[in-house]
Structure 1
Amino acid sequence: MSSSAYRTHHRYAEIAGRQIFYREAGSPEAPAIVLLHGTPASSHMYRNLIPALADHYHVIAPDYPGFGQSDRPTVDEFDYTFDALADHVDALLDHVGLTRYALYVQDYGAPVGWRLALRHPERVAAVVTQNGNAYVEGFVGDAMEPLFAYGRDRSQANADVLRGLISPEGLKWQYTHGVSDPTVVDPDSWTTAHAAVADTEDAIAIQLELFADYITNVELYPRVHEYFRTSRVPVLAVWGRNDEIFGPAGALAFTGDLPSAEVNLLDGGHFLLESQLDAVVTLMRPFLATHLR
């Protein structure tokens, strides 16, 4: 493969009448891996992982509607739910022509990815979960309670707590907390995240809708666990063990339904790739070589 194949291409596809942005690299003839981003983030969080995988894999990393470079319809124009995010990613993968792939999921990428797997279990060859939760054991203390509280009562007081999470200070905390040496985390990571999800009142309103919908992900967990048990999908968990949003118990919980799941707790936080990219790639390469052919 020529070195040009490793370049990341920045593309748009019209999905359900909206422009959905995605990053693509590697040969379309190679095995495919789909990188599903979290929040506060976009596919920008995979800017360094994509070229690290593109020598052997066809890599696709979309931005969900309302995130990053994708169209951002207002909450009056679009129903922001995790089902809707999954609908658009599902249609994008059909547009690209992917019928078999590995998933890399982080944060919001997990509930999007679990929905894809439940719809098309035959398509998912393997899963890499990086602080991508599927178990209530993964919730650290009361970290998720503000989301659930807002889902129960969309009061201004409950909304203000969530606004703090995606304020500039809250974004910096999410990217640097749990990192032994925060100086290795590029400040552009959280300033880009701010532009991707929280730079206008319309953008914040989108995030609040998804915060309120998060309970649907927890309600989906029993079906996800059954999928794990019946499919025996290969899972590699690479987890920032100092994450105070989704803690290491969430990584270890995968082994209850998937005894062969590979669990690795690394020194890092919620956005592990910002500080431990090389370690993650080192773990991914043999896993993908075994399970994604």
Structure 2
Amino acid sequence: MTQPRLSPEIINAIGARVLLSEGEALVHFAQNLTPEFHVAVEKMLKCEGRIILSGIGKSGHVARKISSTLASTGTPSFYVHPSEASHGDLGMIRPEDVCILISNSGETFELGDIIAHTRRFAIPMIAITKRPESALGSASDVTLTLPDVPEACLIGMAPTTSTTLSLALGDALAVALMELREFKPENFRTYHPGGKLGAQLIKVSQLMHDGAAVPIVAAETPMSEAILTMTSKGFGIAGVVENGLLIGVVSDGDLRRNLIGLMEKTAREVATLNPVTIRGDSLAEEALRVLNSKKIGALLVVDDTNAPIGVLNIHDCLRAGVA
């Protein structure tokens, strides 16, 4: 079969048409959201087990993604393949769970055994389908109806717009649960410890050096001793404390500015008072911004009383992938 020679403009126009078609379908869906949406969210919120997703073909791929999104945002979830369910995996679905079954037509034969299982054991079932009057829609406790809009392909048969709508609906469910549960960044990192995203959510307390590694001197410490502390700890700074609280920091820059008579001075006299610090519960990404903006190599970490509890070096952030 001879491949047609199309211009870049025509090819780009096809792509734009598909995106516009699916975008318009999403806007229509948002403006006509199925009234049962809040009922589905409430059932999922009250679920004492896990949210079980299932579907076949393209709907199966969408179900896997929704399950993954739920699990990563604080709602325990997993995917069960309909065919595997018919050969023993029904045992994975328990009475305390909630099932979400996806089928555009609502007549997917392979979902039959899961539907029967949920009815037999009174397991709440949510259907995502375009046809609420279908076998799936009729059997469900809650039916989330997809709008009856055409697929994005010219022949109107390839699952395109319908799968986009299902996927977006799954995201809407997940985000609603996140907000109702007041899911926070620190919770998010629990489920995303790896990669760039995990690095962005690392806290200062997880990277800082603490205990004996923290370079601290008393306010009246002679500079000869303060320099030894700066050198031995290897951070290029020394925190200056009085009554256990941080009042200043001596840096390499402070040494250069006080070269004349340096050894006759105390740490208090040389230090930069009221220095820039960071809290242990701050994100390491925030600490890196401070380090870069102030053009410094290390930060002292303080608690809510301004007592020093650690020190963070810019290289600690970079090694952890915070950049």
What is the TM-score normalised by the length of structure 2?
Answer: 0.25
> Whose radius of gyration is greater, 1 or 2?
2
TM-score normalised by length of structure 1: 0.27
